[in-house]
Structure 1
């Protein structure tokens, strides 16, 4: 069973059992796959190098659109901002997810400041994807997801994803609490 994160002299520590680590690694990898951009063969290498994308359209996948939201209500401004920043935002998120996945390979998590920030970011991105897939848009939706409490009774995709969402939320809350106590 997962142990909540604690702040200590050596950093922030937490504990995950094998199946929990495997689950998180799989979730991190799934979000990485969602974030990896389609790279056209005729893409300008200089634009690619500096992080500029030719495509400024809003992602069709609702989960990806939630990870990479519109920066402005003005469609023209939002498209230009997306064109100039989306690639670097994707790469930063992917970097955090990869770092968190590597941290999960150890039975005991020991996170310094950089790794705890990356782990919190990765958990947040997983939560955003799960929330989108579960259709959490209102308080009623959140209560529906929270009504699933027993892993042994997970009979369908929604009940299983709801329990995973709750686990990831608890883990993120525990990590943020440890990070905040580290500030004192």
Structure 2
């Protein structure tokens, strides 16, 4: 069973069972797949170099839209222009964090330095955003519904299983953030 992250002299340490590592590895890979855009065959190299993507569109998948929301509300033209200028960089940053966290899962001991902990918190947050969208968590009542499922033996449908995964990832992220804050307070 996983143990909460805690701040120590060597960094932020955590423990995950092999099955929990496999689950996180699969979740990270799924989100990476969502975030990897289809590239046109004849992409302008200068535009790619500076991160400009004139072919970008608003995601139709609500979970992907939750990861890549419109920065400007009530002005579709400005929102699209901002998306063209920033989405590629945002996708790359998110994919980088997910890959870094996934690589850490290959290590026997999970000990995170401040930068790696930041990447882990980003990766876990992106997983939570996608799961929250899939579970249709919109308010506190929805969150309570999801938290009612407590036992893996009770997961007899997809929603129950996703609820348990969401609860696990939420707990893991909360323990990581608490350890990060404890490390800041103690100067570690």
Indicate whether the TM-score tops 0.5.
yes
Matches within 5 A, 1:43-122: 43-73=43-73, 74-122=75-123
Provide the residue aligned with 1:24 in structure 2.
24
Give the Cα–Cα distance (whole angstroms) in 2 for the partners of residues 31 and 67 of structure 1.
10
> Structure 1: which 5+ runs fail to align?
none
Contact (CA 8 Å) 1:96, 1:121: kept in 2 or not? yes
Give the Cα–Cα distance (whole angstroms) in 2 for the partners of residues 174 and 105 of structure 1.
20
What's the TM-score, normalizing by structure 2? 0.96
Provide the residue aligned with 2:173 in structure 1.
172
**How far off is 1:33 after superposition?**
0.2
Provide the residue aligned with 2:141 in structure 1.
140
Give the Cα–Cα distance (whole angstroms) in 1 for the partners of residues 34 and 13 of structure 2.
29
Mean Cα displacement is larger for which, 26-35 or 36-45?
36-45
What's the TM-score, normalizing by structure 1? 0.98
RMSD: 0.8
> Alignment partner of 2:166: what SS?
helix
Give the Cα–Cα distance (whole angstroms) in 2 for the partners of residues 6 and 80 of structure 1.
42
Mean Cα displacement is larger for which, 42-51 or 119-128?
42-51
Q: How many residues align?
A: 184
**How far off is 1:48 after superposition?**
1.1
> Structure 2: which 5+ runs fail to align?
none
Provide the residue aligned with 2:127 in structure 1.
126
> Alignment partner of 2:149: what SS?
coil
Mean Cα displacement is larger for which, 174-183 or 66-75?
66-75
> Alignment partner of 1:5: what SS?
strand
